[in-house]
Amino acid sequence: MWLTQTYKRNLAGFTLLEMLIAIAIFALLGLASNTVLQAVMKNNEVTKDFAKHLQGLQIGFGAIARDLQQMVPRHPRGADGSRSNTVLQTGKGLLDSDDEALVFYRLGWLNPNGLLPRGSIQAIAYVLVEGRLERWHFPYPDPEIGTEPVKTVLMDKVLAVNYAFYINDAWQTKIDGNQMPLAIAISVEQEGYGIIQRKFLLPENSLVKNDAPNNDGNDANPNDGNQDDTDQNGSGSNDTDYNGNASGGDAEGDTNT
């Protein structure tokens, strides 16, 4: 009799309470697993977005570095043919920019076999338009009034952009543009990422005296963008090497978020 009761008790199975506890445990495990999975997927998306944003910054600042590493002091020619005293221009509202803009000249604009009727000097402008930091370049160093530039977006979601110039052993935000700085710092404030700053050394061949001859990319010889239109000897050379092999142009970057 006692053996029969023991055998029946062993065949009774789980009680309702035990089943409820087991179901609750499995539910908690499933909920925890789903929470961990969602967190991992969200972190993966954030990482991909940040990597894409970082890649965009590297491409944008890379284009800026290539421009500044071949920056050249050149006095722009006005509509009447006279030369300005400035070698670069900066300021808010310049070229209808939403914030500060920067205008300068660079060498190294490729013209294989002189196929195009222009030199190798390129007029560059960095302009902020509706949250986009754009790079403008013109077909000639001294474009005609009304000439539309070629525009390239360097960065988007830009709230503000500021420039600083290293002159006379100090960083300055306001300059007259008559003197070439040793370095230029660019601070870009992006939505959701804060302020990112990069500093760029300018090439040694840009550090010339204010009375040095001017490069002109509109010379009669389209193969030579380095010829000086004020050179009476017609040699197209001056005291500074403008062959486009800029040195000392390595960029030094600081990022502040």
- Check residue 83 and give its pLDDT: 78
pLDDT band at 94 (very low <50, low <70, confident <90, very high): confident
Residue 108 confidence (pLDDT): 78
Q: Are 127 and 153 in contact (CB under 8 A)?
A: no
Q: Which CATH number fits domain 56-237+246-255: 3.10.610.10, 3.40.50.2300, 1.20.200.10, 2.30.30.40?
A: 3.10.610.10
pLDDT at res. 100: 94
What end-to-end distance do the CA atoms of the chain give, in Å? 81
Residue type, 77: R
pLDDT tens column, 197-220: 999 999 875 554 444 444 444 443
* Better-predicted residue by pLDDT, 182 or 221: 182
Q: What is the C-alpha to C-alpha distance for residues 206 and 240, in angstroms, rounded to an integer?
A: 8
CB atoms within 10 A of CB 111: 16
Between 16 and 3, the higher pLDDT residue: 16
**DSSP 3-state of 30:** helix
> pLDDT band at 110, cuts 50/70/90?
confident
Residue 175 scores a pLDDT above 60: yes
Tokens of 123: 């007029």
Domain boundaries defined on the chain = 56-237+246-255
Reference 176, options 68, 93, 88, 75; nearest CA is 88
Stretch 36-52: mean pLDDT, rounded? 90
User: 96, 106 in Cβ contact below 8 A?
Assistant: no
What whole-number percentage of the chain has pLDDT above 90? 40
28-37, 51-60, 118-127: least confidently modelled range: 118-127
Residue 248 has pLDDT above 70, yes or no: no
Q: Could you give the count of Cα atoms lying within 13 Å of 176 in the half-sphere of its Cβ?
A: 5
Q: State the average pLDDT over residues 98-126.
A: 83
Query: E strands of 80-192, at which residues?
Result: 89-92, 100-106, 122-129, 132-137, 150-155, 158-167, 170-172, 183-190
CA gap 65, 60 in Å, rounded: 9
Q: Which long-range contacts (CB under 8 A, 24 or more apart) does 77-81 make?
A: 77/142, 77/216, 79/145
Distance CA 117, CA 108 (A): 15
Q: For residue 192, what pLDDT is reported?
A: 87
Per-residue tokens: 78: 């006005």
